[in-house]
Amino acid sequence: MAIVTIVGAGMMGSALAFPARENGNEVRLVGTHLDREIIETSRATGRHPKFTKDFPAGVKYYQIEELMEALNGADMVIGGVSSFGVDWFADEILPKIDDSIPVLTVTKGLWDTPEGKLLTYPDVWQKKLDSLGKKLSLNAIGGPCTSYELVAHDQTEVAFCGKDPEILKKLKAIMATDYYHISLTTDVVGIESAVALKNGYALGIALTIGLNQKAFGLDSELHYNSQAAVFGQAVREMYKLLGIQGAATLDNITVGAGDLYVTVYGGRTRLVGILLGRGLNIDEAKAELNGVTLESLVVAVRVARAVRALAAKGEVDLAEFPLLMHVDEILSEKKEVNIPWESFTYTSFN
């Protein structure tokens, strides 16, 4: 039995308590400063307030002030914060974790630099660790997995990525169940980039749903030709971006494509894309969703900014990224949705 400490009681961090505990481990769920009510509710009821199923018996709950107690004796730490908690996790959590304890993060996203480089969050955290002289093993989870379906034990296959194969094998042994299946790879850039890129591209696919609702009515049947066309273009552009970023193997595009598929069919990214397709601008769409900040919006803008920086240096051709550029125009310049369909076509004579 291992001791698994999860920091971040959001839906995905909390969902991972299910395979971790059901695999016979001791699980300690630590809420961030934003998760106080979640931890209080979970302690009182044994259920996350957004889940319809109780936590497995034996999960232990901690407020953030009890972090050091929850870390004591841990065999692994799962970082369950959203991308908006990246700095907080780096400043408040990583320095407190003993170097002998591997970290596995669910946080998805990319940071861009003025030179056009896209950094994965493990890259960002590694810089912090280097400045502190710490030697933590940073690992990450990528792949098509929604929290509520993991809780429901829907068959799920993800990838764990990190630098050390032996540590990855250890993490898999702790977490794998008969419904949670885990691939392993040392291609951190490939996995982390693929699953981050899908957020912005899922928004682009959802635009077509809103466009069809605008044309045929809110209760009209779904049109899959247009969704599929944008899905195909999204995968094509994601594949090119993985190559630009130096992914070790482009095969990991399959992880991003699977995650893209899941994201298109659920969540707030789908909703905001639909609202934009119906004709709302980004401010109106966010207001419709009570002003929530979406990771998909941040990723899309950052990646587009990086691609534009590379194009300015003559290193890429913007014409190869028509979907990304249009999504960025919608978000950054509030342009109307006008998907550049013909730019998705190509000619290939062998």
User: Catalytic site residues?
Assistant: 198
What is the rounded distance in angstroms from the CA atom of residue 49 to the CA atom of residue 36? 12
Classify residue 1 by burial, with Cβ atoms within 10 Å: 0-12, 13-18, 19+: exposed
Sheet hosting strand 156-161, strand order edge to edge? 60-62, 26-30, 3-7, 76-79, 103-105, 138-142, 156-161, 180-185
Helix (H) or strand (E) holding 4: strand 3-7
> CB 287: neighbour CB atoms within 10 A?
13
By the 8 A CB rule, do 200 and 302 touch? no
Which residue in 269, 235, 274 sits closest to 255, CA to CA? 235
Q: Give Dmax over CA atoms of the chain in angstroms.
A: 66
Q: Which residues pair with 139 in a beta bridge?
A: 104
